[in-house]
Structure 1
Amino acid sequence: MNKKFLALILAAGLAGCATAPEGRPADPRDPLEGFNRGMYKFNDTVDRAVLKPVAQGYVNVVPSPVRSCVRNMFANAGDVMSAINSFLQNRAPDGINTTFRVLLNTTMGVFGCFDLATQNGLPRNKADFGQTLGVWGVGSGPYLVLPLLGPSTIRDAGGTAVDFLADPVAVSNIDNVPVRNSVYGLRVVNARANLLEVGNLLDQVALDPYTFTRDAYLQRRASLIRGANGAEGALPDYSLPNYDDDDDAAAPAPASDTQKK
């Protein structure tokens, strides 16, 4: 993979440098739009050629109870980082709630296979380090589409790197290479399978999927920052896998970090 794969990503990004639509003013949140559109197209090509077909096969072959167990176990692992980030954001009640979620689901729920916490009135409160940085006052920086990972910002890309290194199922925590690769492969397939209906809807309703995805991502991130800061007007958590993100100086939503200053 390595050099050839990186070269392919770079070529995709460079190819997009001249693809930003003409005839409309540039979005100040997206100064890298040419590059981002190229990367978006690259990600979409990989998704349609590989990830989506594999995810559809996974849904067709694996029974629903098994898929639910897999989904819950990965979500339970994600709750560990959500608890830590909730405390870092000075949201002690959410941190305590999420800690109890992890304890209950890991023990009585068989390592998270069964989401007993939600059934017993402990809702999931998602939080990541990019959101934590936003709560601490770090500006989002430009919108950025990451290779294979999709929508982000400069700040959130850094937060993603921290979350990845601290993840309970991170590379550093699994020494057995075949097991590690299997876990990561299953995680990717599970995440894509959870987004099949969302992806189909996006194809049907969005005249410009890139702009639609960008605006939705940035508005969601801005909402989460406001919600973590205790401000009114935060959007509810729709719990879209891999899109539980937030941005501050982002969307057409009111009161970005920059505006607050």
Structure 2
Amino acid sequence: MSKLRTIALTVAASAVLAGCATGPNPADPYEGYNRAMFNFNDKVDTYALKPVATVYKNVTPSFVQTGVGNFFANLGDVWTAANNLMQGKFGDGMSDVMRVGINSTFGLLGVLDIASEAGLQKHKEDFGQTLGYYGMPSGPYFVLPLLGPSTVRDAVVLPVDIAADPWQYKDPVHVRNTGTVLRVVDQRAALLDASTLLEDAALDRYEFIRDGYLQRRQHQVYDGEDGPRGKSEKPAQDDAAPAKPGAEQASADEPAGQAIMPAPAASNASL
């Protein structure tokens, strides 16, 4: 662990110095606003969400936490299936449909992830990825209030992802709201260890998270390829600095400690 932290600190320091030498990052023209919103989100996380998530993780049995995560991940698989089908990835889409069917029945409404045990791979797709798959540029990096890292494209279509989340239609309303709070706390609790490592490793946490997010987002949109038919997405990701080692694990879709209130359908697994 100490070696990992040393490497991360060295790379982060190099990136900070490089950033100072080359000027503003073209992928982040709104850096002034983004840093201010990052700091706001960080304060909310530090003084509200992280303490609650810590208590939740310490007092809630691990099997209960696993069940909560599985339940909401199963709901997320519904929109993932739709987006895979919209992208023409019919094999993955039908696999997602089967996952929902198996986990919703034999898995007790998704509390048990029977589908993964049966070899059905879990995917994660949202509408921003679908638009990116067909060539729509991501636009610049953009930090959302409470929701954390995003891009202009993904921020604009976020209402579609939210509307597609089955939990948004759960009645009665008090049950829906209680479940939403539980979902957020559970997802934040799952990232406690990653956020602690990030705090120890990064000299500039904002830059560390931004670069890791942009790289990982492009990887998600193009399924590991450089871009549509091998062409890199423009303008944001082409010019973004490479993510530092460990940033991908720490950032997830919304880096640890920054996605305070993840968009339900857009974040199947993480804050």
Distance in 1, Cα, partners of 2:158 & 2:190: 20
SS at match of 1:189: helix
Q: Who is 1:254 aligned against?
A: none
SS of 1:227's partner is coil
Which residue of 84, 87, 92 maps to 2:85?
87
Q: TM-score, normalised by structure 1?
A: 0.79
Number of residues of Structure 1 aligned to a counterpart in Structure 2: 220
Distance 1:130 1:50 in 2: 29
What is the match of residue 243 of structure 1?
Answer: 253
Residue matched to 1:110: 108
Match of 2:176 among 180, 185, 197: 180
> Following superposition of structure 1 onto structure 2, how do residues 39-188 of structure 1 map, counting pairs within 5 Å?
39-170=37-168, 173-188=169-184
**Could you tell me how far apart the structure 2 residues matched to 1:124 and 1:58 are?**
26
Q: Is the 8 A contact 1:101 1:122 kept in 2?
A: yes
Distance 1:230 1:114, change over 3 A: farther
Residue 111 of structure 2 aligns to which amino acid in structure 1? C
Question: Residue by residue, what CA displacement relative to the aligned partner does 1:215-246 show, whole Å, maximum 9, x if unpaired?
Answer: 0110011112222757599xxxx88896179x
Q: CA, structure 1 residues 213+29, in 2 after alignment: closer, same or farther (shift >3 Å)? A: same
Q: Secondary structure at the match of 1:152?
A: strand
Is the CA contact 2:212–2:251 (under 8 Å) kept in the aligned structure 1? no
Amino acid at match of 2:220: L
Structure 1 runs of 4+ aligned residues shifted over 6 Å read 238-242
Calculate the TM-score normalised by the size of structure 2: 0.76
Measured at CA, do residues 77 and 177 of structure 1 come closer, stay the same or move farther in structure 2, by a change above 3 Å?
same
The CA distance in 1 between the partners of 2:229 and 2:186, in whole Å, is 32
Q: Does the Cα contact within 8 Å between 1:195 and 1:241 map onto a contact in 2?
A: no
Q: 1:62 is aligned with what amino acid?
A: T
2-side partners of 1:62 and 1:44: how far apart? 25
Instruction: Give the unaligned 5+ runs of structure 1.
Output: 1-20, 246-261
Taking the aligned partners of 2:177 and 2:90, their CA distance within structure 1 comes to 35
Paired with 1:60 and 1:128, the residues of 2 have a C-alpha distance of 32
Q: Deviations over 1:48-73 (max 9, x none)?
A: 00000000000111100011000000
- Mapped to 2, the partners of 1:227 and 1:143 lie a distance apart of 20
TM-align CA RMSD: 2.4
Distance 1:232 1:32, change over 3 A: closer
Is 1:191 the counterpart of 2:196? The answer is no
Identity of aligned residues (%): 47
Q: 1:138: how far off?
A: 1.1
The residue number in structure 1 matching 2:9 is none
